[in-house]
Amino acid sequence: MTATGTLRYGALSDRTVHLCVDMQNLFAERTEWHTPWMARVLPVLLRLARARPADTVFTRFIPPASADEMRGSWRRYYERWAAITRDRLAPRLLELVPPLAALVPPALVIDKRTYSPWTQPELRQALEARGCDTLVISGAETDVCVLAAVLGAVDHGYRVVLATDALCSSSDRTHDALLGLYNERYSQQIEAVPTGVILEAWH
């Protein structure tokens, strides 16, 4: 595992972007989607984002107003999670947690309606405008939206670096399983290291 403290493929280029996934009040507060780890990883993630705010892109997960807006299994999903639809949710819960919101601008925010941020053309456009070749990925949750962001980044050919201590999940078991999977099956494309290693390598 690369979590030993080194980046397998060397220092990060000046075309690196930090992609921070869904660090929103919706998950930080005691909603039905509360992610208890978020409070624990926020100071580490904040250190990473504050180091390079102009090179940081935040995503926000934006539910539909109601299940009727969605098709197929997404409609069934929001029938189950009706309390999370915008018709019933306080708008402030969709905002980034305040310490991260304070970094916008220069950090950028991109909204998405599904797990993957790659369904939004704005993300690819923003990365291309920066000439991005590497993504440092952090955020919530390791085994849902972060997973979708990581695999999409791999498919687009980016070098992917996971900040292992700046990820959070509702499940220890699946969080650990995903980190193991990344290291064992995606070692040519994904490096998983602590934030301190990333900051030292990102000049």
Give the pLDDT of residue 4.
53
Contact between 44 and 166 under an 8 Å Cβ cutoff? The reply is yes
Angstrom CA distances, 125 to 8, 153, 159, stand at 28, 13, 17
CATH number belonging to domain 2-201 = 3.40.50.850
Over the stretch 111-123, which tens digit does the pLDDT of each residue have? Answer: 999 999 999 999 9
* C-alpha span between 16 and 8 (Å, rounded): 16
Give the pLDDT of residue 171.
81
Over the stretch 30-44, which tens digit does the pLDDT of each residue have? Answer: 999 999 889 999 999
Is the pLDDT at 103 greater than 90, yes or no?
yes
* C-alpha span between 39 and 141 (Å, rounded): 13
- Give the start-to-end residue ranges of the domains of the chain: 2-201
Mean pLDDT over each residue of the chain, to the nearest integer: 94
Give the pLDDT of residue 175.
86
Give the pLDDT of residue 1.
37
Contact between 96 and 38 under an 8 Å Cβ cutoff? The reply is no
% of the chain beyond a pLDDT of 90: 85
Over the stretch 148-171, which tens digit does the pLDDT of each residue have? Answer: 999 999 999 999 999 999 999 888
Over the stretch 50-102, which tens digit does the pLDDT of each residue have? Answer: 999 999 999 999 999 999 999 999 999 999 999 999 999 999 999 999 999 99
* C-alpha span between 141 and 148 (Å, rounded): 10
